[in-house]
């Protein structure tokens, strides 16, 4: 395959940045998107040019480090023909036609400063999680599997929220640059479980306050976040955050009723 690439190049946070065009031959349809970028970088290095900087780690769709905007869609959505929830590293080049032009950009949000090329600083998401603090548990031997009964619906909601990998695609897709889907997933994960109850009210207030302090935009329920989430976190998760936040205004810090 022959692929035409338009890639965002930016030396550092202060640089203005621009789209640079490349043509890449010999691309196999079995290559992942990141392997295609690896091939491009091998060619650029051989020509004495700077390789394109991008983030990656597990390359198994688990860590979320690989996120870039492909043709205007965070993670690419399996090309343009059949949108499927996926991470960039699990997107394969067979999703694109021979001769395609692909535009690749970093996450663009005020809370995600661009460090170089396609790499952004997503530490704001880490700080939101850190603001949630600890979870109170009794130390000692592990309890029996069925010693604490959990409603099936609540456990399923907790599990669905826990699948969030913190990639930031929701922020990149939102016209407001909101991280409410991410923050609500982290809050809902613990809010649905007995272990998360002692600090539940304090947690939601602290995490939402940190979310605002990081400069993320406000949520207006557009839904683009859920549409591009590679793990399918539902939009209704934000409703759970809102319910907990409202409840926290009328309850004392401490164990949730």
Split the chain (257 residues) into runs of 10 and give each run's mean pLDDT: 97 95 96 97 97 95 93 79 76 93 96 97 97 83 78 92 96 96 96 91 96 95 92 94 94 51
Separation between Cα atoms, residue 78 and residue 70, nearest integer Å = 10
| pLDDT (0 to 100) of residue 101 | 96
Separation of first and last alpha carbons in the chain: 60
Which tokens in the block code for residue 48?
A: 């004495």
| pLDDT (0 to 100) of residue 134 | 87
DSSP 92: B
DSSP 90: G
| pLDDT (0 to 100) of residue 232 | 92
Separation between Cα atoms, residue 53 and residue 110, nearest integer Å = 20
| pLDDT (0 to 100) of residue 78 | 60
């Amino acid at each position: 395959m022959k692929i035409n690439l338009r890639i965002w190049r930016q030396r550092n946070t202060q640089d203005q940045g621009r789209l640079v065009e490349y043509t890449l031959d010999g691309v196999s349809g079995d290559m992942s998107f990141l392997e295609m970028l690896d091939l491009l970088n091998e060619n650029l290095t051989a020509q004495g040019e700077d390789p394109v900087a991008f983030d990656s780690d597990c390359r198994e769709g688990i860590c979320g480090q690989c996120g870039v905007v492909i043709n205007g869609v965070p993670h690419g959505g399996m090309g343009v023909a059949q949108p499927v929830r996926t991470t960039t590293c699990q997107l394969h080049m067979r999703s694109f036609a021979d001769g395609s032009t692909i535009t690749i950009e970093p996450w663009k949000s005020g809370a995600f400063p661009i460090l170089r090329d396609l790499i952004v600083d997503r530490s704001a998401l880490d700080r939101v999680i850190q603001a949630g603090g600890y979870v109170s548990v009794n130390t000692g031997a592990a309890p029996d599997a069925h010693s604490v009964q959990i409603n099936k619906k609540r456990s399923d909601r907790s599990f669905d929220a826990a699948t969030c990998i913190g990639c930031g695609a929701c922020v990149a897709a939102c016209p407001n640059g909101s991280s409410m889907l991410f923050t609500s997933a982290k809050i809902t994960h613990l809010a649905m479980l007995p272990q998360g109850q002692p600090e539940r009210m304090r947690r939601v207030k602290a995490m939402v306050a940190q979310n605002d302090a990081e400069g993320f935009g406000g949520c207006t329920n557009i839904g683009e976040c859920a549409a591009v989430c590679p793990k399918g976190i539902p939009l209704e998760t934000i409703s759970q955050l809102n319910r907990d936040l409202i409840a926290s205004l009328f309850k004392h810090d401490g164990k949730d009723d």
